[in-house]
Amino acid sequence: MSKKPSAPAAKKVESAVPASDYALTPINASLSREQKIDLYRTMVRIRRFEERSLRAYQGKNAAGGTNIGGFLHLYIGQEAVAVGCCSLMGKNDHVITAYRDHGHAIAVGMDTKPLMAELYGKITGCSKGKGGSMHYFAPDKNFWGGHGIVGGQIPLGTGLAYALKYQGKKGAAMAFMGDGAVNQGAVHEAYNLASLWNLPVVFVIENNGYSMGTSQARSSAGELAKRAAGYNMEWGQCNGHDVFEVRAVMDHFLTQARENSRPSTVEIDTYRYRGHSVADPDNTYRTKAEVEEYRNNKDPIQVALHQLLAAGVFTAEIAEQIDAEARTEAEIAAEFADASPYPTVDDIQKDVYWESDHPAERKSEGRLFFD
């Protein structure tokens, strides 16, 4: 046995396409008019859903209590990343992400009513009120969470890819993380396993510049995606404000995963407008001017709007109609969440064990729960 690794050399994949031409790359040019509009619509739906959830967070319910507890990490400003990536999913492609997961959940096609209900802690929530904002799941949509421990989901995403390969399915796993997560050991262990075993996973770093209040410059040595080179993986960078660029760049790496079972790491530049979580102060580590600069010049929804208007894909009236529908959808989701019941105290001990949820099929004996 040779001591030297034999995997293909790690390299940075540079796109040959000038930024203005991403809409013309085959993966985008092949989209129907309706599909292009759908990309826009999904971003708007995420934005309006989250704005509505923020209002719910800040408001009170009829009983004077909180609507939404704990953390609420908003994705506002980053929508093109999840929408661009998830729009490329085929039936054997899978997604896993961290706690800033509302965008991914909507992008994979989850219904916004159970998503809002989950925030409200209701039994009608996508996780029956047991997960909350950070822990959305939809295995039927190939969406495996929603994970609260920074970097902890990356080995799981690698395991999804392992399962695909073991089962002989042609697909890819996308494992999303923030720029802060790249400093977690579990991420590096996953990188090594993925490259060593040729697993079909794309590690996606959503670089919004900050991990809570710590800028990239204060947390990370060197370029983030380039660390993949140390694990003999292809890597790339991408502007995450343009949904078409995200698709064009990700298409290459997803194809590498599906066709050649090779992992890669893609760093997608993006920005969040809101605080880390909604209750967090937002003035200690960045300036208002910086936020405004992104909002005014790089907002992914605005960028897409201008592209689609300029290309004559839709009209301003249609865009407005999409926006109005998204607001209505968010309102309906909030009404659904508000009207839904909470889980009962009896529900607390459901969904703990497969066996206790399937008593007729239980094979073990003895006590599973204690008091």
Partner 1 sequence: MPQITYREAIRHALAEELTRDPNVVVMGEEVAQFNGAYKVTEGLLAKFGPDRIVDTPISEAGFIGLGVGASMLGIRPVMELMFWSFYSVAFDQILNNAANVRYMSGGQINCPIVIRGPANGGTNVGATHSHTPENVLANHPGVKVVVPSTAYDAKGLLKSAIRDNDPVFFLENTILYGDKGEVPEAEYVIPLGKADVKRTGTDLTIVTYGRCVIHSLKAAETLEKEHDISVEVVDLRTIRPLDIDTVLASVRKTHRVLIVEEQKPFASVGTQLAYMIQREAFDDLDGPIHRLATVDAPAIYSPPVETEQLPNPGRVVKAVLAALA
Q: Which of partner 1, ligand TPP, Mg ion, none is residue 124 near (CB under 5 to 8 Å by kind)?
A: none
Residues between 123 and 182 that touch ligand TPP (CB under 6 A): 148-150, 178-181
| Alpha carbons 49 and 54: distance in angstroms, whole number | 9
Half-sphere exposure of 340 (CA within 13 A, CB side): 26
Cα of 253 vs its chain's centroid, Å:
17
Could you please report the per-residue DSSP string of 13-82? ----S-GGGGGGSHHHHTS-HHHHHHHHHHHHHHHHHHHHHHHHHHSB-TTSSBSS-S-----TT-HHHH
Give how many residues touch ligand TPP by CB under 6 A.
13
The answer to whether the peptide bond before residue 236 is cis (omega within 30 degrees of 0) is no
User: Whose CB is nearest to ligand TPP?
Assistant: 178
**Is there binding between residue 104 and ligand TPP (CB under 6 A)?**
no
Query: Closest separation between CB of residue 308 and Mg ion, Å?
Result: 28
Regarding 324 and contact with partner 1 (CB under 8 A), the answer is no
Choice between 102 and 276, CB closer to ligand TPP: 276
Q: Helix (H, G, I), strand (E, B), or coil: what is residue 215?
A: strand
Structure tokens at 336: 């659904």
Binding mask 134-153 for partner 1 (x = CB under 8 A): -x-xxxx---xxxxxx--xx
Measured distance between the N- and C-terminal CA atoms of the chain, rounded to whole angstroms = 55
Least separation in angstroms between residue 212's CB and ligand TPP is: 4
The least distance separating Mg ion from the CB of residue 286, rounded to whole angstroms, comes to 12
Which letter, b or e, does each residue of 328-337 get, where b requires 16 or more Cβ atoms within 10 Å of its Cβ? ebbeebbebb
Binding letters toward Mg ion, positions 163-182, x by CB under 5 A = ---------------xx---
Judged by the rule CB under 6 A, the positions of this chain that interact with ligand TPP are 100, 148-150, 178-181, 208, 210-212, 276
Judged by the rule CB under 8 A, the positions of this chain that interact with partner 1 are 94, 96, 125-131, 135, 137-140, 144-149, 152-160, 162-164, 166-167, 185-186, 189-190, 192-193, 196, 349-355, 357, 363-370
